Chains A and B, each alone.
Chain A
Amino acid sequence: MSDTQMLNMSAVEMARAVRDRSLSARKLAEAALNRAETVGRSLNAVTQVLADSALASADAVDFAVSRGEDPGPLAGVPMVLKDNICTREGYTTCGCRFLERYRSPFDATCVERLRGAGAVIIAKANLDEFAMGGSGENSAFGATRNPWDVSRVPGGSSSGSAACVAAGIAPIALGSDTGGSIRQPAGFCGITGLKPTYGRVSRWGLVAFASSLDQLGPLARNAQDAAVALSVISGEDPRDSTCARVAREDFADAITRADRDNQPRIIGVARQGRGSGNHPSVNLAIEQAMALYRDAGFELVDVDLHAGDEAIAAYYIIAAAEASSNLARFDGVRYGRRAELSPGEGLSDLYTRSRTEGFGPEVQRRIMLGTYVLSSGYYDAYYNTALKARRVIKNAFDAIFARGCRAVLLPSSPGPAFKLGEKNNDPLAMYLEDIYTVSVNLAGLPAITIPAGIASVEGKDLPVGVQLIGPALSEASLLRLASVFESRSSFHLRRPPG
């Protein structure tokens, strides 16, 4: 089997082959590492390739199999982690100069769980600095490119995670989603991206951006692989007090037993997602998704989210406020880069210079916005108002689900991937790209992006994604809906050129 054939297998197929010894984890790791070094580097999708530790992990998996032990459901599966997830191996840079040489003294909970399930971590993925951005262009280590068209962005902030999965470097990557950072790049890169319910996955070891919004989740080439990854990383963790106390579920099993699906068969179609502001390919994808589910026996109903622009407004106030607080810890004292001081300068200069030199412009903008909206005199007008809007947004979702809707259908972005440089001089224009994703984080709900169309733009094929949003803890139901979609379409099988 060629390297490309091997890497085109699904994660489930890889793990099965490694467990029945028809494929060695080492061979798989070598192929993935090689592709990360070549394709991954050329797309600037990886910050580091972790060859030594990956090969050691792969050998351990092979050794376990040879002794008749079961390494777990991700046996030998090469995986990529967004570089804001702490690993003992390599650096955890967050796409930031400040942490360029930061070595975490611990593995994140999700990393421990992946290793415990036999996964082989081959690389850390590039990202917008501290996960702040929707294009992948805000990384201190340069922009990631979209494998479908290298003149375009892969989306963000999980830019490298999405690009690596789409480019066949690894079948699954982990990302984080604060306002769409898993779902939007999954849409731009033609893959599946799942943002779990707030609290479903432990965030211990995820470098915090906005603590009431952040959530870790998988990006994969199909729903089944995403389900396996979610089953492994989810579940209670005493080290994260915001982690929900719910029993672990086997999400892959939920997909396989789709015939036992007794969930309601009504899907709400959000009025707000069908605007004239969308690229025609996005409206077409929504129409086709509606037809697909109608053919599969679902009833489609029109629903109103009661917020569009307002969700963006509330989100950017809340996210910036939380970021300004979380990022106060980066002061050049205990970890990260410390600025060189001139004679006579003191501790206050050390803070200010380390932060000014260490943070990129987008991070500084958001810290200042957050500081402003929390400052004396404006707290109530901005921050508290945004928190109230947040509840109205959540109530609108609750009312839709209470009416019997199983999920809400919405685009994952207003258009397909845009050009590098097209929006990065206008922060507000970039923020508006998040119009379809932020309300999910404000409400803490799970949502999945499904590859649902191909747009032909300037002679290139570009993927188009749609999102399904469900009530809290409805990941199994969403994954089943994604699986229904896959069984009636082939967009998830399309691969970028090369």
Chain B
Amino acid sequence: MSPSPESGSPAPTPPAPAALSADDVAKVARLAQLNPAPAQAAAYAHQLSAVLEYVQKLRSMDLTNVEPMTSPLDMESRLDADEPGPTLDRDEFLRAAPDHWNEFVRVPRVIE
């Protein structure tokens, strides 16, 4: 059988940067709202670089004219009828919150 019906000319290759520096990790950590300690960040840089190096194997696949596949289901939008139904109790949700005041979840001051 053929590898895929979509086979054609060579696929565009991923770019070269398959290694992360400590600065890259710091930037990604900021985007992800994480703040690893320096030693930990250095370990992450090393480990994630190994993973990024490995994923370059995708270059060996011919992906020309292949449509990206985001889900195994052929998704159609499924909409509920616009009818009110039972919901969970607000107090139960508030009990799960680390801090609340009356019916509000409380967080530190956002605007000075």
A contact set with B: CB distance below 8 Å: 102-106, 198-199, 212, 238, 241-242, 244, 304, 306-307, 309-310, 312-314, 316-317, 324, 328, 331-338, 341, 345-353, 355-356, 359, 361, 364-365, 367-369, 371-372, 375, 378, 381-382, 384-392, 394-396, 399-400, 403, 426-428, 431, 442-445, 472
With A333-B107, A345-B108, A367-B34 as known contacts, state yes or no: A103 contacts B96, CB within 8 Å: yes
With a CB–CB cut-off of 8 A, which chain B residues contact A399?
1-2
With A346-B109, A371-B32 as known contacts, state yes or no: A199 contacts B89, CB within 8 Å: no
- B67 sits at the interface (CB 8 A): yes
With both chains docked as a complex, state the minimum distance between the C-beta of B30 and any C-beta of chain A, in angstroms.
Answer: 8
**Pair A244/B73 contact, Cβ less than 8 Å:** yes
**Pair B108/A313 contact, Cβ less than 8 Å:** no
**Pair A102/B96 contact, Cβ less than 8 Å:** yes
- C-beta contact mask, B61-98 vs A, less than 8 Å → 1, else 0? 10100111111110100101000000011001101111
B contact set with A: CB distance below 8 Å: 1-6, 11, 14-15, 20, 24-25, 28-29, 31-36, 40, 44, 47-48, 50-52, 54-58, 60-61, 63, 66-73, 75, 78, 80, 88-89, 92-93, 95-99, 105, 107-110
With a CB–CB cut-off of 8 A, which chain A residues contact B68?
384, 387-388, 390-391
CA distance A104 to B93 in the complex (A): 9
With both chains docked as a complex, state the minimum distance between the C-beta of B64 and any C-beta of chain A, in angstroms.
Answer: 9
**Pair B107/A368 contact, Cβ less than 8 Å:** no
With a CB–CB cut-off of 8 A, which chain A residues contact B6?
391-392, 395
With both chains docked as a complex, state the minimum distance between the C-beta of A243 and any C-beta of chain B, in angstroms.
Answer: 9
With a CB–CB cut-off of 8 A, which chain B residues contact A316?
51, 54-55
**Pair B32/A367 contact, Cβ less than 8 Å:** yes
CA distance A466 to B67 in the complex (A): 32
With both chains docked as a complex, state the minimum distance between the C-beta of B102 and any C-beta of chain A, in angstroms.
Answer: 15
Among residues of B, the one whose C-beta sits closest to the C-beta of A371 is: B32
With a CB–CB cut-off of 8 A, which chain A residues contact B28?
368, 371-372, 375
With A350-B107, A368-B48 as known contacts, state yes or no: A389 contacts B71, CB within 8 Å: no
Among residues of A, the one whose C-beta sits closest to the C-beta of B93 is: A105
**Pair B36/A388 contact, Cβ less than 8 Å:** no
**Pair A389/B58 contact, Cβ less than 8 Å:** yes
With both chains docked as a complex, state the minimum distance between the C-beta of B100 and any C-beta of chain A, in angstroms.
Answer: 9
**Pair A313/B109 contact, Cβ less than 8 Å:** no
With A199-B72, A338-B99, A356-B36 as known contacts, state yes or no: A365 contacts B44, CB within 8 Å: yes
With a CB–CB cut-off of 8 A, which chain A residues contact B54?
309, 312-313, 316, 428, 431
Among residues of A, the one whose C-beta sits closest to the C-beta of B63 is: A388
**Pair B48/A372 contact, Cβ less than 8 Å:** yes
Partner of B58, one of A355, A372, A386: A386
**Pair A381/B15 contact, Cβ less than 8 Å:** yes
With a CB–CB cut-off of 8 A, which chain B residues contact A317?
55
**Pair B63/A385 contact, Cβ less than 8 Å:** yes
**Pair A382/B55 contact, Cβ less than 8 Å:** yes
CA distance A336 to B31 in the complex (A): 21
CA distance A289 to B32 in the complex (A): 46
With A333-B107, A356-B35, A391-B66 as known contacts, state yes or no: A361 contacts B72, CB within 8 Å: no
With A334-B96, A369-B48, A428-B51 as known contacts, state yes or no: A443 contacts B72, CB within 8 Å: yes
**Pair B58/A365 contact, Cβ less than 8 Å:** no
Partner of B57, one of A310, A350, A395: A310
Partner of A361, one of B5, B40, B61, B63: B40
Partner of B47, one of A106, A335, A346, A427: A427
**Pair B61/A310 contact, Cβ less than 8 Å:** yes
**Pair B44/A364 contact, Cβ less than 8 Å:** yes
**Pair A313/B67 contact, Cβ less than 8 Å:** no
With both chains docked as a complex, state the minimum distance between the C-beta of B111 and any C-beta of chain A, in angstroms.
Answer: 10
With a CB–CB cut-off of 8 A, which chain A residues contact B14?
381-382, 385
CA distance A385 to B1 in the complex (A): 23
**Pair A331/B31 contact, Cβ less than 8 Å:** no
**Pair A242/B58 contact, Cβ less than 8 Å:** no
With a CB–CB cut-off of 8 A, which chain A residues contact B55?
313, 316-317, 382, 386
**Pair A338/B110 contact, Cβ less than 8 Å:** no
With both chains docked as a complex, state the minimum distance between the C-beta of A361 and any C-beta of chain B, in angstroms.
Answer: 7
**Pair B33/A238 contact, Cβ less than 8 Å:** no
With a CB–CB cut-off of 8 A, which chain B residues contact A104?
96
**Pair B109/A427 contact, Cβ less than 8 Å:** no
CA distance A384 to B68 in the complex (A): 6
Partner of A324, one of B15, B32, B88: B32
**Among B24, B32, B48, B66, residue most surrounded by chain A Cβ atoms (within 10 Å):** B32
**Pair B60/A310 contact, Cβ less than 8 Å:** yes
**Pair B1/A444 contact, Cβ less than 8 Å:** no
With a CB–CB cut-off of 8 A, which chain A residues contact B66?
388, 391-392
With a CB–CB cut-off of 8 A, which chain B residues contact A244?
73
CA distance A227 to B101 in the complex (A): 48
Among residues of B, the one whose C-beta sits closest to the C-beta of A315 is: B55
Among residues of A, the one whose C-beta sits closest to the C-beta of B112 is: A346
With a CB–CB cut-off of 8 A, which chain A residues contact B24?
372
